[in-house]
Amino acid sequence: MFLDTLARPLNVALSSNGFALDMSPERLGWLTPSDPHDTIAQLRDQFQAQGYLWLKSLLPRAKVLEMRRRYFAAMQETGLLKPGTDPIDGIYSGDETPKQGHINKIMAEIVRRADYEAFCFSDEVWRFFESLLAGAVYLHKRKLVRHVVPYATAATGAHYDLTYLRGGTDTVCTAWIPIGDTPVELGGLVYLEGSDKFGREQEAEFSRKNADLSPEDRISAYNKNMTTTGWLTKDLPMLANRLNSRWLVADYEAGDMMIHSAYMIHAATTNLSDSGVIRLSTDIRYQRIRDEIDARWNEHWSLDDML
C-alpha cells in the first residue's frame, strides 16, 4: 500500500463545463494510490471499499509513451499539433480550423488499429483483470480514445458507466488509462468519493422508473427518464454538495491505470495546460467472459454509434 496520497497544493481554479469546483477540503480531495504488487485480496477489498483503484505504474512507462507518440503522429495530418513539435509531446496547434471531421476519421481508424488494440490487450492489463475478477476475461470491442485540448469548453459530465452498459453484467469494470503524464491541471478523471453506493441507489431508482418501457428502451442511456447525454449532471459542485462528498483528483503518470466500478460516479475537468499539452487517454471495459455481455458494445466505436 502507498501510504501518502501524493497530495500537493493546487494553484489553479478547477472547473468543468463552466462550473467552478469548490476547492475547499470538504469538497475536494486526492485519490488514494494502490500498489499493483499488493495481494489480490487486498486490492479486491480496496476496490470494493472505494469503487476505484488507482494502480501506480502497472504498465511500462515506455509502452504508454510509445502509444502517445503513435496517436499524435497519426493526428499530425489534421493540423491538431503545433508545427515543428514532437508528436510524443502532444502540443496543441491552437488552430481551431482543423476539421473535426478529419480528426474523427483518424480517431475511428485508431480504435481499429492493431497497435492500439495490442495496447488495450497488454498482458499487464488483462492479467490484472483476470486476477481481480477471478476468471477468464473479455475486453469489449467498443473502446474509446479521447484527446482533450487546453481550455476546451466541453468536458465529461458526472455519470456512472452502467448507464451505457445496462444490457450486460453490472460487474463490468472500466480501465481508464492516461496516455501520457496527466497532472490535475490537465483535466484527467475525477471521482466522487463514496459514490459507488449512490450509483447503485440511483440505478435501482432508474430500474423502477424504466420498468414499463420496451426492453430496448429500458437499457438505453437516453430513454425518457434520462438526460440527453445519460449524464447525471454537468454541475459537479452541485452534485458534491448534494451528496455531501468530495471530488477526488490525482496527478496521473504514464504507466498508471485507473479502474472503476460500473456504479462509481466520475467526470473530467477542463484542461488548464498553459503549455498547450493535450490530454490523451483511453477507456476500455473488461468483464468475466461467463457474465452477460452487452451486445451493443460488440462493434468498434464510431461517432454515430449512439451509445
- Of 25, 3, 4, 22, the C-alpha closest to 13 is 22
Distance in Å, CB of 285 to ligand AKG, minimum: 8
Does the footprint of ligand AKG cover residue 245 (CB under 6 A)? no
Contact 62, 35 (CB under 8 A): no
Contact 173, 259 (CB under 8 A): yes
Does the footprint of ligand AKG cover residue 176 (CB under 6 A)? yes
In the structure grid, which three cell numbers stand for residue 8, read together?
Answer: 500537493
In the structure grid, which three cell numbers stand for residue 180, read together?
Answer: 501520457
Residue (104 or 213) nearer to ligand AKG, CB: 104
- Among all chains, which residue has been given the C-alpha cell 455481455? 293
Q: Can you tell me the distance from the alpha carbon of 165 to that of 212, in angstroms, rounded to the nearest whole number?
A: 19
Binding mask 180-219 for ligand AKG (x = CB under 6 A): ---------x------------------------------
Residue (17 or 174) nearer to ligand AKG, CB: 174
Residue (47 or 176) nearer to ligand AKG, CB: 176
Residue (190 or 240) nearer to ligand AKG, CB: 190
Q: Can you tell me the distance from the alpha carbon of 237 to that of 247, in angstroms, rounded to the nearest whole number?
A: 9
Q: Which of 32, 34, 122, 174 binds ligand AKG (CB under 6 A)?
A: 174
**Which residues, in sequence order, are CB contacts of 245 under 8 Å at separation 6+?**
27, 192, 193, 194, 195
Q: Which of 50, 156, 245, 273 binds ligand AKG (CB under 6 A)?
A: 156
**Minimal CB distance residue for ligand AKG:** 283
Rule CB under 6 A: which of 69-108 touch ligand AKG?
none
Distance in Å, CB of 277 to ligand AKG, minimum: 15
Does the footprint of ligand AKG cover residue 268 (CB under 6 A)? yes
Say whether 9 sits in a helix, a strand or coil: coil
Rule CB under 6 A: which of 20-39 touch ligand AKG?
none
In the structure grid, which three cell numbers stand for residue 91, read together?
Answer: 502540443
Distance in Å, CB of 11 to ligand AKG, minimum: 23
DSSP 65-103: HHHHHHHHHHHGGGT-BPTTS-GGG-BB---S-S-HHHH
One-letter amino acid of 96: E
Contact 75, 95 (CB under 8 A): no
- φ and ψ at residue 275, rounded to 5 degrees: -105, 15
Distance in Å, CB of 96 to ligand AKG, minimum: 20
Residue (233 or 281) nearer to ligand AKG, CB: 281
Size of site (CB under 6 A) for ligand AKG: 10
Does the footprint of ligand AKG cover residue 146 (CB under 6 A)? yes
Q: Residue numbers of the site for ligand AKG (CB under 6 A)?
A: 146, 156, 161, 174, 176, 189, 266, 268, 281, 283
